[in-house]
Structures are given as structure tokens and as C-alpha cells.
Amino acid sequence: MRILEKKSLKIRYLHRKAGLTLHVLLTLLPLAAGAVYALLYSVGLAGSLAAGFTLRYWESLVSRGTLWQTFAYSAYIMGVSIVLSYASALAMVISARGRLMERKGSRIFYLPLAMPALVLAFFAFRFLSGGGWLASLAFGSGLIASPQEFPELVNDPYGLGIIFVHFLLAFAFFSIYLDRVYANERIEEQVQSAQLLGAGYRQSLRRVVWPMILRKTWPAISLYGLFVFGSYEVPLLLGRSTPEMLSVRIVRMLSRFNLDDRPEAFAIVFAYMMLTVLLVFLLRKSKGGLR
């Protein structure tokens, strides 16, 4: 091939390469840069307190249990919210035989999706707190004599308020999503086939519906779970200082006057980023995982 021909081909090749390189820079570079900075800060090699390599911040986090506590609490909130919302949504979709969204007024399921988490958290605070609407109802019914007698539903140690908001959002999402999956995978026909082969209704639910739907939807469950795990606005308004969800803990530690908290905060940042990368890789490698 002659020189001019090679040059023309090369220009087209470079054009495509430039676009793909830009994509990698936009997706991986901020993450990589942030992770590297966080790691260096956490071992005393970057930042205003940098005094040389040290593992004391990591040791402090681990020995005090802060790292595990934060991750465990976030995992607990994630687990409870997702399990409750998924189970409820699945029950609804199965009882509707995958025709939930065909019902009159099914558009209401989209309403929670039209509200940002911050606004729902604000509503939940006004609704569930000791001086909130539910407490007013309890007072009016004679169940309580003062706001202090109302059970702690927000800023509580069990994260009930946080779970309530995430449940609301996830339930709406999973209802719409599972209904679509039920129809697309023709689950109803599969159930009928199973019944023709002698399976009872419960058996067909257990042996056909549940495995099929779970296999199809677990990447979505995992991804949604990761969103809840890293959520910020909801625990910011409805959580308490101990235990604290991951994102809130990180931001609070970085905003404190005690500068010693900053390297520890960046250690948590780094650990969380690595956990996310690992989970995404695992999701991808698994059967029926990310496309």
C-alpha cells in the first residue's frame, strides 16, 4: 500500500482511537486519580498532614472498628431495604400475573421516581419524627401524651427512617421493572407449562418463577443495592451520628476541624472504591451479569 493510502487510513484510525481514549479518560481517570490520591493521603504521603509513610490511620480505623462498623451498617441498610422492597414488589407482580402496569392508575408507581431522595427524606422526617404527622395522629387518637412518647422512627439506631425512604423508592422501581421482566420472559406461559407437567401452583412458583426472575434480575438488584449502600442524602437527614452510613461518615470526617480525621476518611474512601471495583468485576464475570 502506498504512503498516501496508509496516511488516509491512519487518520481514520486515529479519529476513532481519540474518541475511545476520551471515553476512557472520562470514566476511569477521575476514579483512578481519586483512588490514588485517597490512598496516598491515607498513608501520609499526600495532603497537609503528610509526614511520610505511615499505616497508623489504617490501624486506628481497624482497631476502633470504625471501618467495619461503617461498612456493616451500610450493608445492613442496603440488605433490609432491598429484600423488603424486592419481596413486596415480586409478590405484587406475581399476584397481578405480570399485568400490574396495565391496571388503571398504574402510573402512580412512577410517582416516587419523580421525587429526589432528598425530598423524600425531608418528607419522611416531617412525617415520622416525634413532632411529625404520624405522632400528631397518635396524639389525636390518645395513644401518646407528648412527642417524646412517640417511638423513634428517624435519627434512630436501626435506621428505620432511612429504610422507609429507600423501601419506597426501591419498591416503586422493582414493581415496574419486575412487571416488565415477567412479561418479557413470558413467565406466565412457563408457569402454565409447569402446571401441565404436574406441578402445583406453589411448586411452579418455587421451581420456575423464582429461579427465572432471580437469574434475570439479580444484576439490577446488585446495582440498586450498591446505590443504596453509597447513598448520602437520605442518611444525612434521617440517620444519626453513630452508627453512620458510609457516605455521610466520609463527608463528616472530611469536614471536621480535627485534621487527623482526614487521612482516616480517605482510607474509608479508598476501601469503598476498591470494594466497588471488585463488586463490578464480580458482577461482570458471573453468569447473566452485566452486559
Partner 1 sequence: MKPVTGKILWALLASLFVLPAAYLLLLSFSASWHFPLLFPDALTGKWWSLGFTSRFALLGSMGLSLGIAAGVSLLSTFAAFFSSRWMALSRYRSALLLSAYFPFVLSPVVLAAATYIFFVRLGWNGTVAGVAFAHFLIAYPYAVILFSGYWNERLLTMDALAATLGAGSFQRYRRVLFPLSRGVLALALFQTFLISWFEYGLSSYIGLGRVPVLTVEVYRYISEANPHVAAVASLLLVFPPLLMLWVNKRFLIRLI
Partner 2 sequence: MNETNMLKVIKLNKSYGKERVLRDLSFSLREGDILSILGRSGSGKTTLLKILAGLKEPDGGEVLLRGQPVLHLPPQKRGMVYLYQETLLFPHLNVFENMAFGLRVRKIPGSEIRKRTEQLLHELGMAGHSAKMPEQLSGGQQQRVAFGRALIINPSLLLLDEPFGKLDSRTREEMQELFLRICREHRISVLFVTHDLKEALCMGDRIARMEQGQLKMYAKRSDFIRDAATGAKKEMDFWTGIREESKMKNNEQ
Interface residues toward partner 2, by CB under 8 A: 1-2, 4-9, 12
C-alpha 46/C-alpha 266 separation (Å) is 11
44: contact with partner 1 by CB under 8 A: no
Residue 227 touches which member of partner 2, partner 1, none, C-beta under 5-8 Å by kind = partner 1
Instruction: Detail the DSSP E strand segments found in 171-222.
Output: none
191: contact with partner 1 by CB under 8 A: no
Q: Torsion angle of alpha carbons 283, 285, 287, 289, nearest 10°?
A: 40
Say which residues have a Cβ less than 8 Å from residue 239's Cβ, sequence separation at least 6: 155, 159, 161, 162, 245, 248
Which of 72, 111, 214, 282 is in the footprint of partner 1 by CB under 8 A?
111
Residue 4 touches which member of partner 2, partner 1, none, C-beta under 5-8 Å by kind = partner 2
Provide, rounded to whole angstroms, the least separation between the CB of residue 222 and partner 1: 9
Nearer to partner 2, 8 or 27 (CB): 8
Nearest to 52 by CA among 61, 43, 60, 63: 43
Provide, rounded to whole angstroms, the least separation between the CB of residue 68 and partner 2: 47
Provide, rounded to whole angstroms, the least separation between the CB of residue 216 and partner 1: 13
Residue 38 touches which member of partner 2, partner 1, none, C-beta under 5-8 Å by kind = partner 1
Burial, 123: exposed, middle or buried (Cβ in 10 Å; 0-12, 13-18, 19+)?
A: middle
C-alpha 289/C-alpha 261 separation (Å) is 38
Which of 44, 69, 123, 190 is in the footprint of partner 1 by CB under 8 A?
123
